[in-house]
Structure 1
Amino acid sequence: MRPNCTTVYLVSCVSQKREHACAARDLYVSDLFLKARRFAEASGCLWFILSAVHELVAPDQVIAPYERTLNTMRAVDRRAWGERVAAQLAEAVSDLSRVVFLAGERYREFLARHLASRGVEVSVPMEWLRIGEQLSWLGQHSPPPAV
């Protein structure tokens, strides 16, 4: 991690997962997640995974596969999830100044509001892009994969 980096990257979980417990960075296997992960890691700053089940997940945290998504949760439950994740993030990163979301609307809607209300700058570089466009954007803005 880059010293004194006060930016955190948040990558949302995806439905495509390995069939066994492993480090969260390796659990999710979709092309979108892998490209978002590479983009976040290349920043040199901290990054976390947003999970509907486990909330704020460190990349090296071992978790088992699951089948829940914020996309099917009620707004009141998503709001409560966002409050919990904002609190977890504040505890994990004391000098947080900026969050970059690499996540869909349901994963950032309430969380982004909580962060902004605490004075954290919120960035959503792919906000209006469809999935294919997100893949292209990440491909253009990320370093090539390690060989």
Structure 2
Amino acid sequence: MLVGCVKTKHSVPSAAKDLYKSYLWRCRRAYAESFDCPWYILSAEHGLLDPDRSICPYDVSLNDLGAKDRRLWSTRVLDELKRRVPSLRTKVIEIHAGATYAKYGLEEGLRDAGAVVHLPLAGVSGVGRQQAWYRERLGSRRS
């Protein structure tokens, strides 16, 4: 599972999973942690992050980058993921991030590597609706 970072961060170095502090982030993290599978953070600054990796706060957004730099970022993330997961063939990968994170080569690159890619929130617009989507699924997983 790939989980997109968010803008709001704590002001001190932290494990990546603890650095981000918005409600949407808490929803995404709780959802990822509710499954028995590896998950990584998609960071505009760092690329692909292990959730436990300690990092410093940063102020970089993919939305601030041009198309060429977004494609370079996607290539970097794909390369990092392929180092961690030598074969992506038939792996099911969910991307929980804004469209900017998936649409500049990441989704296509994962599919080209043989992965089955799901973007569960692709049709869910607005932060409030996304939060509700996570709350609904997390509630049903606890039942």
Provide TM-score, normalisation by structure 2. Answer: 0.92
1:135 is aligned, of 131, 134, 139, to: 131
2:109 — aligned with what?
114
Asked if residue 20 in structure 1 is aligned to residue 16 in structure 2, the reply is no
Separation in 2, partners of 1:103, 1:75: 17
Q: How many residues align?
A: 137
Letter in 1 for 2:136: Q
* 3-state SS of 2:45 partner: coil
Contact 1:18/1:28, CA 8 A, preserved across alignment: yes
Matches within 5 A, 1:1-147: 9-96=1-88, 97-109=91-103, 110-130=105-125, 131-143=127-139
CA shift at 1:95, angstroms? Answer: 3.8
User: Is this contact kept in 2: 1:11–1:49, CA < 8 A?
Assistant: yes
- 8 Å Cα contact 1:49/1:57 also seen in 2: yes
Structure 2 unaligned regions, length at least 5: none
- Three-state SS of the structure 2 residue aligned to 1:107 is helix
In the alignment, the residues of structure 2 paired with residue 14 and residue 142 of structure 1 have an alpha-carbon distance, to the nearest angstrom, of 20
Q: Which moved more, 1:18-27 or 1:125-134?
A: 125-134
Counterpart of 2:35, as a letter, is S
Identity of aligned residues (%): 38
1:38 Cα deviation after fit = 0.5
- Uncovered stretches (5+) of structure 1, i.e. residues with no partner: 1-8
Could you tell me whether the CA contact under 8 Å between 1:22 and 1:63 is conserved in 2? yes
1:115: Cα distance to partner? 0.6
Runs of 4+ in 1 over 4 A off after TM superposition: none
Aligned mates of 1:132, 1:64 — CA distance in 2: 28
